[in-house]
């Protein structure tokens, strides 16, 4: 096959484009300098556990990442001209068994970037081991705040966003930031891991199983709980009482809270738009963040 000048040019351009595209994908950052606390699985066997026939969301498949033993952070930055300096650490859901990696992770980072926010995607350990997820999210917030200057972030505008089980994890963090659930490993663990705000989307496990109006003890709310946004559908099988009870506890503790309950929509839609109005929650979060000043430029 003869290569004309035009073909050589096209080939070179293709190579450059491919290299640029590959370089644009952010590289995961190990969450821990060595193995995670108490972790015994030294061989990474994480993989997409989705099977043919697994349910799609809004007509698209879902990456169900399982068997995660090496936690990491992946940082998605907005365009330089839009960057507000705010950051949100994202905790995908999955019942503490898997992580809905694209539905409640990478796609959320893309949306956050569109409003000028850095998305920090947390890959926490699943299936759950004792305090593993809590240790991972505490470490994540401390590490991001510790390196905020290096990464061009405002250390006073670091929030957390959790879906389903990730919402439970976010609320658990907001109740347990005063003391680490592990021994400090470096200077990042000497920095506060309290989020400046939290966003809970169809959270589960916030209430006691035998008393729907009572918050689970490990999620206790007080006056220092961060300002909170909650969105959920009334027909969510995880039970909308989780949202009602948690919002009431926040209100009683005089913590700023915004609660949106929609009539229908079920569970596990991420931010994929459907005819259900609950999927407009990203618009409401954007308004809320603007109103609180978290989207103000540097």
Contacts 24+ apart (CB under 8 A), 217-222: 218/172, 218/175, 218/176, 219/168, 219/171, 219/172, 219/175, 219/246, 220/175, 221/175, 221/246, 221/249, 221/250, 221/252, 221/253, 221/255, 222/253
Is residue 15 in some structural domain? no
Residue 47 lies in a domain: no
Please check whether residue 175 lies inside any domain of the structure. Answer: yes
Q: 0.85 cut: is pTM over it?
A: yes
Q: Which domain holds residue 256?
A: 60-292
Please check whether residue 71 lies inside any domain of the structure: yes
Q: Looking at the domain assignment, is residue 12 inside a domain? A: no
| Each residue's pLDDT tens digit, 103-152 | 999 999 999 999 999 999 999 999 988 899 999 999 999 999 999 999 99
Distance, in Å, from the CA atom of 192 to the CA atom of 270, rounded to the nearest integer, reads 29
Kindly state whether residue 187 falls inside one of the protein's structural domains: yes
Is 43 within the bounds of a domain? no
Structural domain contains residue 23:
no
- Summarised one tens digit per residue, pLDDT across range 171-185 is 999 999 999 999 999
| CATH code of residue 82 | 3.40.50.1820
- What is the domain count for the chain? 1
């Amino acid at each position: 096959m003869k290569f004309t000048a035009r073909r050589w040019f096209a080939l070179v351009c293709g190579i450059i484009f491919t290299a640029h595209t590959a370089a644009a994908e952010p590289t995961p950052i190990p969450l821990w300098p060595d193995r995670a606390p108490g972790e015994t699985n030294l061989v990474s066997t994480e993989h997409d556990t989705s099977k043919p026939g697994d349910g799609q969301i809004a007509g698209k498949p879902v990456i169900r990442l399982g068997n995660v033993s090496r936690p990491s952070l992946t940082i998605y930055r907005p365009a330089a001209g839009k960057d507000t300096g705010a950051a949100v650490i994202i905790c995908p859901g999955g019942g503490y068994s898997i992580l809905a990696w694209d539905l409640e992770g990478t796609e959320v980072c893309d949306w956050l970037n569109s409003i000028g926010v850095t998305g920090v995607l947390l890959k926490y350990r699943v299936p759950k081991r004792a305090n593993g997820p809590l240790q991972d999210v505490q470490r994540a917030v401390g590490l991001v705040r510790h390196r905020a200057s290096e990464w061009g972030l405002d250390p006073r505008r670091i929030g957390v966003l959790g879906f389903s089980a990730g919402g439970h994890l976010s609320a658990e963090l907001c109740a347990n930031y005063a003391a680490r659930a592990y021994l400090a490993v470096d200077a990042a663990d000497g920095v506060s891991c309290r989020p400046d705000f939290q966003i809970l989307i169809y959270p589960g496990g916030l209430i006691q199983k035998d008393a729907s109006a009572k918050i689970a003890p490990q999620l206790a709310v007080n006056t220092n709980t961060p300002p909170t946004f909650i969105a959920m559908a009334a027909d969510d099988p995880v039970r909308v009482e989780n949202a009602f009870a948690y919002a009431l506890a926040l209100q009683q503790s005089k913590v700023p809270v915004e609660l949106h309950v929609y009539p229908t929509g079920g569970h596990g839609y991420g931010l994929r738009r459907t005819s259900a109005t609950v999927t407009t929650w990203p618009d409401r979060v954007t308004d809320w963040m603007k109103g609180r000043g978290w989207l103000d430029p540097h």
